[in-house]
Amino acid sequence: MVKETIQVEFREVDTTGVFIACTQANEENSKKLLNQSGFRALTYQEALTKIDKNPELKEQLKGRWLYLDEKGSELSGFYIFNEKGELIKIAGPAILKKGKGDLEKIVFVLKGSHPLSLLVQTDDFTRYGGFRFGIYATYGHSDVAGVVVGVRCSHT
């Protein structure tokens, strides 16, 4: 049996330490592609803080979803994240001012037992939906993400 190796090109966005391959892949293939290139998937805390701090990274990921490094979540509902990417429960986006800064820190989490994935919402959705990020534990292993995103294995 011949092991098939798929080649994709990862490129670093700005100087974030975050690398993106514009290829579609399910969870298994995402992990393989990252591993082959010396990368690993981001944790949700890394993803939230790195994307929030870098406008170019956020812009490139708007409207796209990707697999994260964790599996399953017991959390569900609306959260706001702090500078460490820790989630703090809120009643919902309506309780916050409709200011840009507030909406950029709001995360909707949907619990489940599947691999965690992240959706970076578009500007229009963020304005009308009330949150920038969606963390989901509901997509199955075979669902195909729009991009593969990672950091170097030694990166923390």
Q: How far apart are CA 89 and CA 38, in angstroms?
A: 35
User: Mean pLDDT, the chain, as a whole number?
Assistant: 89
Question: What's the pLDDT score for residue 7?
Answer: 72
| DSSP per-residue letters across 41-107 | EPPHHHHHHHHHH-HHHHHHHTTEEEEEEEEEE---EEEEE-TT--EEE-S-GGGS-S-HHHHTTEE
Mean pLDDT calculated for residue range 109-134: 95
Mean pLDDT calculated for residue range 23-41: 95
Mean pLDDT calculated for residue range 100-125: 91
Mean pLDDT calculated for residue range 119-132: 94
Q: How far apart are CA 109 and CA 119, in angstroms?
A: 10
Please answer whether residues 96 and 132 qualify as being in contact, where contact means their C-beta atoms are separated by less than 8 angstroms.
Answer: no
Kindly indicate the confidence band of residue 114, based on its pLDDT and cuts at 50, 70 and 90: very high
Q: How far apart are CA 1 and CA 30, in angstroms?
A: 21
Mean pLDDT calculated for residue range 45-74: 96
Tell me the domain boundaries of the chain.
Answer: 40-143
Please determine, for residue 1, whether its predicted confidence score (pLDDT) is greater than 60.
no
Kindly indicate the confidence band of residue 93, based on its pLDDT and cuts at 50, 70 and 90: low
